[in-house]
Amino acid sequence: MTSPPSQSDSTGTPSLPSPAFETLRAETLAVAAGRPPRVVDAPLNTPPTFAATYVGTHQPGSGDLGYGRYGNPSWSATEEAIGALEGGRALTYSSGMAAAHAVLELLPVGSSIVLPANCYLGVAAAVAERASRYGLTVRTVDVADTAAVIAAARGADMLWVETPTNPTMEVADLPAIGAGVTGETLFVVDNTFATPLLQQPLSSGAHIVLHSATKFLSGHSDAVMGALVVPRHDTTRYQALETTRKLHGAIPGTMESYLVLRGIRTLAVRLVKAQANAAVLAERLAEHPAVGRVRYPGLAHDPGHQVASKVMAGFGSLLSIELADTASAEALVSAASVWVFATSLGGVDSMFERRRRWAGELSSVPDGLIRMSVGIEHVEDLWADLEHALRSLPPYSTAGGQ
Ligand SMILES: *Cc1c(COP(=O)(O)O)cnc(C)c1O
């Protein structure tokens, strides 16, 4: 929503021109969207609104907010920014998983869904849980195999793609998949890893884009929130998703909305720095004798490199490395002191973890795989910390790594 330039508001307070979003690039939108109209003496930032209810009116068609579960100016500001970045209309939820559930609610009993063979654990678990209760048919597919994805999606009610995938870093050719998906198949893309700065799935024909705003959008590991984005013209689906949010009550908190919007202001600079760090570390890790395979689409020999070069504006700041075994992986994450041993990703701090420490992680993920979310620290401090921790590990090959 762009407010047209005007001379004054209804009270006669002078107001100033606001930018036309359609003409702006992502870096500028991240800074400019979700602000109040430019009125003299108005705050530059949308203030957090703590409200369980609002003053109402009997006037028909006034469109008043009504109640704190139905809407909030703090959500709206954050949604304006996320929608502008993805090129659509956004709805925010209490978490990425709440957003995922709102999407799965669109599936009638007995539907069929295609899921990535590797994807965020919570999504796979949520689908499995619904499958038994609602008679869903679930098929999994390697998202990097475009022909297989399109074939699996034929006749399916929903195609769910995550790219790059967590934690195996497969890259999907979204434009090719979008061109191949036809008919009534709802095409959903989890864009958490790439962020809207590296790819905008709606432009590839996705019907719904999902974000765990907990990750890059927030960027500071201090808020849990989710978002969905639909094309601007798709009022029907927007309303269906909004109704689910109202009735399920999985609404974002005011403080979370404020923090995520605050995080979005610096998304572009954070991503550029973290991505540059990741590129350097991926190259060095690939040369290290204790490290087996490095999964990072920015590496020339990575299976996702060609597609990522074509369809993404950058390779992101996540990578996975394989160490010889569980013991080596645990030794690495325990020995580091700058890197934080923690789950989650997309924050300013560099974080890593052995993914198989989670009981639900797929057995296709190697025991010694460590997912690394590279932050914005000085790259040489990150490398020194890693190198020190790697020094005590056995070489990958002689330790029995495959
Ligand atoms: C974290 C994550 C989710 C779930 O989001 P929450 O905010 O933790 O509920 C979904 N998809 C991906 C790719 C994630 O990394």
If you average pLDDT over residues 304-325, what whole number do you get?
97
Q: Is 250's C-beta closer than 6 angstroms to any atom of ligand 1?
A: no
Token pair of 338 as six digits? 């700058």
User: 212, 241, 264 — which closes off a domain?
Assistant: 264
226 lines ligand 1 (CB under 6 A): yes
| 133 domain-assigned | yes
pLDDT in tens, 17-53: 888 888 899 999 999 999 999 999 999 999 999 999 9
Whether 231 is covered by a domain: the verdict is yes
Residues 360 and 125 sit within 8 Å (Cβ to Cβ)? yes
Residue 237 Cα to ligand 1 midpoint, Å, equals 22
Q: Which of 216, 242, 264 marks a domain boundary?
A: 264
Q: What share of the chain is helix, strand, coil (3-state, %, to 5)?
A: 35, 15, 50
pLDDT at 7 over 80: no
Q: Which is nearest to 166 in space by CA: 205, 123, 130, 129?
A: 123
The answer to the question of residue 2 being in a domain is no
- Residue 14 three-state SS: strand
Ligand 1 centre and the CA of 214: distance in Å?
7
* Domain C-terminal end among 264, 284, 302: 264
What pLDDT shows up at residue 362?
A: 86
The sign of the CA dihedral 381, 366, 146, 149 is: negative
Is the CB of 121 inside a 6 Å radius of any atom of ligand 1? Answer: no
Q: Tell me whether the omega of the peptide bond preceding residue 164 falls within 30 degrees of 0, making it cis.
A: yes
CATH number at residue 212: 3.40.640.10
pLDDT confidence of residue 273: 98
State mean pLDDT over 369-397. 95
Asked about 245 being catalytic, the answer comes back as no
Are both 394 and 254 inside the same structural domain? no
- The predicted model gives 356-376 an average pLDDT of 93
C-alpha span between 117 and 123 (Å, rounded) = 11
Q: What is the DSSP letter of 173?
A: -
Residues 254 and 273 in one domain: no
State pLDDT tens for residues 146-158: 999 999 999 999 9
**pTM score above 0.85:** yes
Instruction: With respect to residue 18, please indicate whether it lies within any of the assigned structural domains.
Output: no
CATH number at residue 392: 3.90.1150.10
Residue whose Cα lies nearest atom 5 of ligand 1: it is 96
State how many domains the chain has.
2
Query: Of the residues 9, 64, 67, 69, which is catalytic?
Result: 69
My answer on whether 309 and 236 are in the same domain is no
Asked whether the beta carbons of 254 and 47 are under 8 A apart, the reply is no
Q: Is 119 inside a domain boundary?
A: yes
Same domain, 112 and 217: yes
* Under 8 Å between Cβ of 186 and 237: no
For 117-138, the pLDDT digits (tens) are 999 999 999 999 999 999 999 9
Judge if 70 and 214 occupy the same domain: yes
Look at residue 4 and tell me whether its pLDDT is greater than 70.
no
- Choosing from 130, 215, 273, 293, the catalytic residue is 215
162 lines ligand 1 (CB under 6 A): yes
- Looking at the structure, tell me whether residues 323 and 224 fall in a common domain: no
Interatomic CA distance for residues 251 and 191, integer angstroms: 20
Q: Which domain holds residue 86?
A: 29-34+43-56+64-264
Pair (101, 184) in one structural domain: yes
What is the pLDDT averaged over residues 104-118?
Answer: 96
Strand partners, 371: 320, 353
Residue 280 C-beta-side C-alpha neighbours within 13 Å: 17
- Report whether pLDDT(250) > 80: yes
CA-nearest residue, atom 4 of ligand 1: 96
Residues 255 and 285 in one domain: no
Residues 253 and 339 in one domain: no
